[in-house]
Amino acid sequence: MASSAESTVSNTPSPSPPPTEFFSHDIKPKIHAQNVQAVSEWIDNDGATRSLGDAANVTMDLHFEPSASSAFFKLRVPCFLKHNNTVSKSPTSLFVFITPDRIQQLAIEDEQSSHKNKLRNTTICLRFTLTKPCDLVGPRHMVPLRAKNAKEGAVLDSLRALAQQTCFAVRIACRVLSKAQRHTLARAVSSSPGLAPTAGHDSLSSLYNGKGGIVHQFDGDKDKNEDCPPAYADIGPPAPAPPLDDKIPAEKEIADSAFLSRSRKRPRGASSSDADIEDNATNPKSDTKVQRLEAENQILRKQVEALSREVAAMGDRILELSQRFEVVEDEVSDAKVNITEELRDDLRRNYGVN
């Protein structure tokens, strides 16, 4: 009987070990989330809460590469701008670069967001505490930034205000990041010495169809770039010169009087051949030659004016084609985003893939 009891005890399974954390510290999930709908909030100098994303279409890119010890965050806000008295036909993307080397602390919290209707989901809140304000990036060829109207101006003012904050929050849908990703990202970004910016994502030269971007720095509410001269490519072709006839009557009269004065003077000891030259100056044949030259000159002037008008028209046509190309590129980009979101929704719905 004792033997049987001992056998029974030895076959009893040992108690299971206590549960471990929800993920192993050796597992470092990388993150590449793009065009995620977002709402940003901060407290202004007057203590009032301001937000960006309710009226504007704000999206966020999140990148985290544990193997490279790098990360990068970017907000994208489309805004209609005007430049050189020309209003853009499509919105221009303005960016807020949040580089990890400026992040002192990143806290990621679960919450029931008051922006549920905007984001159409429960949210998580990324609370950034920076050592230095983030960068507002716009197109290099559109300096300074000018909004199309008052509505777009309010969006631009909010962007300028956000770019001067060191503490702000960004809300996104909770499905974007898993719990493991949230924990790893917050711990890695907040650690010291921290992460480096992900290679390529902070490049300014590749933005805006290769025209390049520029960082806008502020002195209070004043954009320091407003004092910068425009880029050479932005100056455009010069305005057509006014007709030459409007500029030279006085000069022509002076030249004619000087010519007649010289022709009427006879130097001392002039020979008879000099007298012949003087007579030729008032010869009808000479007058006919001068008239013919003036007529040819008039024809050349008209040809130059016509060429100037054609060059100006070509410049306008090139600008129009460039704007149309930007519209098409934005439409293609939006289509890619929509298709990507639809595929993600299908994968999530059918296969449970996040």
What are the pLDDT digits (tens) for 179-238?
999 999 999 999 867 788 988 888 888 899 888 999 987 665 556 555 544 443 444 555
If one compares 34 and 343, the residue with the highest pLDDT of the two is 34
Bridge partners, residue 108, by sequence: 126
Predicted confidence band at 8 (pLDDT cuts at 50, 70, 90)? very low
Q: Give the integer Cα–Cα distance in Å for 244 and 248.
A: 6
- Note the pLDDT of residue 16: 38
User: DSSP per residue over 239-269, as a string?
Assistant: PPPPPGGGTSHHHHHHHHHHHHHHHH---TT
Residue 123 contacts residue 172 (beta carbons within 8 Å): yes
User: DSSP per residue over 54-122, as a string?
Assistant: SSS--EEEEEEEGGGTEEEEEEEEEE-BEETTEE-SSPEEEEEEE-GGGEEEEEEEEE--TTHHHHTS-
- Note the pLDDT of residue 189: 92
* Domain assignments of the chain as residue spans, ordered by start: 25-234, 244-264+282-333
Predicted confidence band at 5 (pLDDT cuts at 50, 70, 90)? very low
- Note the pLDDT of residue 138: 93
Spell out where the chain has E strands.
Answer: 31-43, 49-52, 59-65, 70-79, 82-83, 86-87, 92-98, 103-111, 123-130, 135-139, 167-173, 196-197, 213-216, 218-219, 222-223
The residue written with tokens 């008209």 in the block is 302
- Note the pLDDT of residue 255: 53
